[in-house]
Amino acid sequence: MGRIICISNQKGGVGKTTTAINLAASLASAERRTLLVDMDPQGNAGSGLGLKRENLTGTVYDALLGGRPASELVHPTELRFLQVIPATPDLTGAEVELVNQERREFRLREALLPLKDKYDYIIIDCPPSLGLLTLNALVTADSVLIPLQCEYYALEGLSQLTHTIDLVKQGLNPSLKMEGILLTMFDARANIAHQVVDEVRGYFKDQVFQAVVPRNVRLSECPSFGKPIILYDIKSKGCESYLALGRELMRRDSPKPSKRRVA
């Protein structure tokens, strides 16, 4: 069975979708079968991988409220091992439509369960809110990865997100874990960026990934070309950081060597 990781932070502009796209692409480049699920009505995860809205044969909305199997909604990308279930602005209405539905928090989980053994990783890109769409992602996921920008207000709202995660663990998804905090938008020239890194690492310790994503022009350019950074500029600092993140994640999942003594 594959692992489901949701990328969540209710603050906008923290590099959430950039992380979802480029982490998924990094895992796929290592020949890990990867599915990216876009739960953000902006639909940037799909467009950032080159999907055109007019060519879509189905979206995550159809899985949540249309009754279509998720296997019919999967779209290929330029990377052989990476596929995506896209979203469109139609998903905005799902927040309202889900309110009166039975098992409304479990819609995404029930949709993705048949696909879990077909992928090594399923990455879910959440919207910048803590509504029903994000709740569905948290109920579905095995773990949560939180992008945190290296700026003054970095920790603002983080306690609210961790509180929500705790509530989900208590009532809807007891096995949900914290995958880790990813520091993003790091500017080595700014003292505040170094202060934020030190503060976050000091407080959260080993819950913080070693990989740090810098502010990088190439990272901000590649979505307009519909490519992940690994296909746009593999030599850029942004690409190096997401490849490092992918390797760090895969090392965590590698089988631990046996400590049993050989006779």
Q: CB of 112 within 8 A of CB of 36?
A: no
Q: Is residue 260 part of a domain?
A: no
> Does 203 have pLDDT greater than 90?
no
The C-alpha atoms of residue 242 and residue 23 are separated, in whole angstroms, by: 6
For 30-41, what is each residue's pLDDT tens digit?
Answer: 999 999 999 999
Average pLDDT over residues 226-240: 95
* CA dist list (Å): 251 to 4, 63, 93, 209, 218: 16, 32, 39, 12, 27
What proportion of the chain, given as a percentage, has pLDDT over 90?
74
Domain assignment present for residue 258? The answer is no
Domain assignment of residue 205, yes or no: yes
Q: Is residue 261 part of a domain?
A: no
Any domain includes 124: yes
Residue range 79-137, pLDDT digits in tens: 999 999 999 999 998 888 988 888 899 999 999 999 999 999 999 999 998 889 999 99
- What is the helix (H) or strand (E) element at residue 82, kind and residue range? strand 82-85
Write the CATH number for 49.
3.40.50.300
Number of domains within the chain: 1
Is pLDDT above 60 for 261? no
Answer yes or no: is 102 within a domain.
yes
128 domain residue, yes or no: yes
Q: How far is CA 210 from the centre of its chain?
A: 17
Instruction: List helix spans (H) across 113-214.
Output: 132-140, 158-171, 191-204
* Residue 234 belongs to some domain of the structure: yes
Residue 122: strand, helix, or coil: strand
Question: What is the model's pLDDT at position 255?
Answer: 62
- 182 pairs with which residues across the strands? 147
Q: Which domain holds residue 160?
A: 3-252
pLDDT at 244 over 50: yes
